[in-house]
């Protein structure tokens, strides 16, 4: 933990407290993420309430090994990967993600068990060859940045975490959607708003792919703003990321209460793995907001299980979009990398 880490944590604490504006930490949301707050975020909230920048910096320096990452990164379940069998399953899962990413990129043939060989051809040239092909097509390294004590598989000097193939795949699909569905000018340097950004993975990999992105704003719960603000600042540099109450940088991290104050115009609304988990009214509010604030596309990658949680069903994006009105479906595809997840692109705003 360096002085720069502590200085960043001072800024994160100031932004967090400004976002809460005197309200108690536990009042940030209801439903699933209130349950996550009660179970896993409280120790972090106590550090923020005490304004203890040094202790916060120590926690965040190991964020990927901490229980408060539950729901944001597989690392919260790190102990599951420690027994030999668990480690083996996790290794297979990371490799499976890498092969699916390679298949989605079209750099290895898709495995088809009925007519093809019994195993994928992806490893025919060895792991180094597989990585070389993936990175050649992506145009950037898949090595996960050394921030927050991440862990996963080290292959040819690149760290592949349990979720990085999926996160990279989403950024690639978002990049395709920008090229296909926005005007050339907006597609080249889009202004993006992501709701529910987790630790900032989609933002990070999209910027790796498309450095000319004009603005990437993430709107989230104040306590998760702290996690994404830390991760993205450490990876991209402090000056590339602004926090609540600061002058906007290329990456803007804002609380849900700051949505209306984001400087527009916006070309894209992004949501990955989160609208279904939000309170229904909060999710609808985002979609209604984008109908007038966003002139371009809505890119969604979400599960559609509608599983019950505390007596209510998780949300279903196509139904929410219909309720909000003003969206028209352009594409609907299953994820190459994460079974059960659906990628959708809607036109919204002036082009909808
Ligand atoms: C399962 S995580 C997914 C994170 C990220 N999109 C990913 O796929 O890695 C759900 C995200 O939704 C956020 N979230 C939950 N309720 C929210 C709300 N009311 N407004 C904005 N974000 C919310 C969480 O804090 C978290 O970042």
| Per-residue pLDDT tens digits of the chain, which is 352 residues long | 999 999 999 999 999 999 999 998 888 788 888 989 989 899 999 999 999 999 999 999 999 999 999 999 987 677 777 889 988 888 898 899 999 999 999 999 998 878 877 778 899 999 999 999 999 999 999 999 999 999 889 999 999 999 999 999 999 999 999 999 999 999 899 999 999 999 999 999 999 999 999 999 999 999 999 999 999 999 999 999 999 999 999 999 999 999 999 988 999 999 999 999 999 999 999 999 999 999 999 999 999 999 999 889 999 999 999 999 999 999 999 999 999 999 999 999 864 4
- Report CA dihedral (349, 336, 180, 129) to the nearest 10 degrees: 140
Which atom in ligand 1 lies closest to the alpha carbon of residue 224? 25
**Cα 296 to averaged position of ligand 1 atoms, centre (Å):** 22
Nearest-CA residue for atom 16 of ligand 1: 278
297 near 182, Cβ under 8 Å?
yes
Nearest-CA residue for atom 11 of ligand 1: 196
**Cα 274 to averaged position of ligand 1 atoms, centre (Å):** 5
**Cα 196 to averaged position of ligand 1 atoms, centre (Å):** 3
**Cα 282 to averaged position of ligand 1 atoms, centre (Å):** 12
pLDDT number for residue 76: 66
Contact residues for 332 (Cβ-Cβ < 8 A; gap 6+): 342, 343, 344
Per the confidence metrics, is the pTM higher than 0.75? Answer: yes
Contact residues for 269 (Cβ-Cβ < 8 A; gap 6+): 192, 193, 194, 195, 286, 287, 290, 294, 297, 298, 299, 348
Closest to 94 (Cα-Cα) out of 204, 168, 146: 168
**Cα 203 to averaged position of ligand 1 atoms, centre (Å):** 13
Question: Which among 30, 33, 170 is the best mutation to test ligand 1's pocket, defined by most ligand atoms within 8 Å of the CB?
Answer: 33
For the chain, where are the alpha helices, taking DSSP H only? 3-20, 32-36, 42-49, 53-60, 84-105, 126-138, 164-181, 184-188, 201-209, 222-236, 280-293, 317-324
Q: Which two tokens stand for residue 191?
A: 């202004």
325 near 284, Cβ under 8 Å?
no
Which atom in ligand 1 lies closest to the alpha carbon of residue 282? 19
Other beta carbons less than 10 A from residue 207's beta carbon? 21
């Amino acid at each position: 933990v360096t002085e720069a880490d502590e200085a960043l944590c001072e800024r994160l604490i100031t932004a967090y407290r400004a976002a809460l504006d005197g309200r108690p930490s536990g009042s940030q949301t209801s439903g699933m993420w209130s349950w996550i707050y009660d179970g896993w975020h409280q120790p972090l909230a106590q550090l923020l309430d005490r304004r203890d920048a040094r202790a916060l910096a120590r926690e965040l320096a190991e964020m990927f090994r901490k229980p408060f990452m539950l729901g944001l990164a597989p690392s919260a379940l790190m102990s599951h990967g420690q027994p030999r069998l668990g480690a083996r399953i996790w290794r297979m899962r990371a490799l499976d993600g890498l092969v699916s990413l390679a298949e989605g990129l079209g750099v290895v043939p898709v495995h088809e068990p009925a007519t093809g060989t019994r195993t994928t051809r992806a490893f025919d040239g060895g792991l180094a060859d597989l990585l070389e092909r993936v990175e050649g097509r992506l145009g950037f390294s898949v090595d996960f940045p050394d921030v927050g004590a991440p862990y996963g598989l080290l292959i040819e000097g690149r760290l592949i975490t349990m979720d990085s193939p999926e996160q990279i795949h989403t950024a690639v699909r978002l990049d395709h959607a920008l090229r296909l569905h926005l005007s050339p000018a907006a597609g080249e340097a889009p202004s993006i708003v992501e709701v529910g950004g987790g630790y900032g993975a989609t933002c990070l990999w999209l910027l790796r792919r498309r450095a000319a992105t004009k603005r990437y704003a993430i709107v989230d719960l104040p306590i998760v703003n702290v996690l994404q603000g830390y991760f993205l600042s450490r990876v991209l540099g402090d000056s590339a990321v602004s926090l609540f109450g600061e002058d906007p940088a290329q990456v803007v991290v804002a609380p849900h209460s700051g949505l209306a104050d984001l400087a527009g115009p916006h070309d894209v609304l992004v949501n990955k793995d989160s609208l279904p988990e939000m309170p229904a009214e909060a999710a609808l509010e985002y979609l209604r907001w984008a109908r007038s604030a966003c002139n371009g596309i809505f890119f969604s990658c979400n599960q559609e299980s509608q599983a019950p949680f505390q007596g209510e069903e998780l949300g279903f994006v196509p139904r929410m979009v219909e309720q909000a009105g003003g969206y028209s479906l352009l594409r609907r595809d299953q994820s190459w990398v994460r079974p059960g997840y659906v990628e959708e692109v809607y036109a919204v705003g002036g082009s909808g």
